[in-house]
Amino acid sequence: MSFANAVLISDLHLTASMPRTAQRFFDFTENEARQYGALIILGDLFEYWVGDDAKAHSPFHHQVAQKIAAVADAGIPVFFMHGNRDFLLGETFAKKAKMTLLRDPQVMTIANESWVLSHGDALCTEDHSYQRFRRVVRHSWVQKLFLSLPRGMRIKIASTLRSNSTAQYQRAARFTPEVIQVKGDVTLVATAGLMAMTGAKKLIHGHTHRPGYHQESLGGQHWERWVLSDWDFDHPETVLPKGNALAITAEGVRSLDLVQA
């Protein structure tokens, strides 16, 4: 796949309980997204996903699908890569939203350069408990078993997992912030391995909620890494509104501040 330019986003964590964030995304699909040759979503578009059937009759998720499909209808291809929150998003919803599913990692040519795209969670290799969990839940038979459960049970399980994860993070962040800094970020070793495997020199990912640009090297390898921001326009009492997109054109890479736009 090759595009003259593209815009990338990740970690919106869309849910009906965060209407301002959702509205900013809807505005994005009608404005910024239509200024580029492709829209690429690198995971965690939704706060959680327990199966396409569970959202089939949701007005909110229907609206999200409509907004994304409208971008595709405008002649701009839309691509989606699974995140750690919505890895169960399937072909049914993807077709409804007119999105093409990407594997993780994915190499794509944009503005005549090769880019490695990833959600990023697989690169956080110091978080051993999460990596064990990830290996289990990404097995197709585990997913089939989970999706065979009643929808209410799936939602309850997902809610419990989210609550446990948040509580564990808050406890660790309070008492050992240096551990969280390491566990919650990608590692040089994992990143170097990915770049060596793909042969590319430029990486874009989300997941860590630590937007930025990094020039990195290990063992004679050198690469550049861009990290996308998460989005939150609904909690001004705890965090400033935040949300960015990354635009790649022939002129280079530019971070779009969606708060100021």
Q: Output the domain CATH number for residue 13.
A: 3.60.21.10
Full-model pTM? 0.91
State how many domains the chain has.
1
Render pLDDT for 131-186 as a digit per residue (tens, 0 to 9): 999 999 999 999 999 999 998 899 888 888 876 654 444 344 444 444 445 567 99
**Cβ(228)–Cβ(246) below 8 Å:** yes
Render pLDDT for 13-24 as a digit per residue (tens, 0 to 9): 999 999 999 999
d(CA 37, CA 225): 22
d(CA 196, CA 187): 14
Domain with 9, as residue range(s), is 2-257
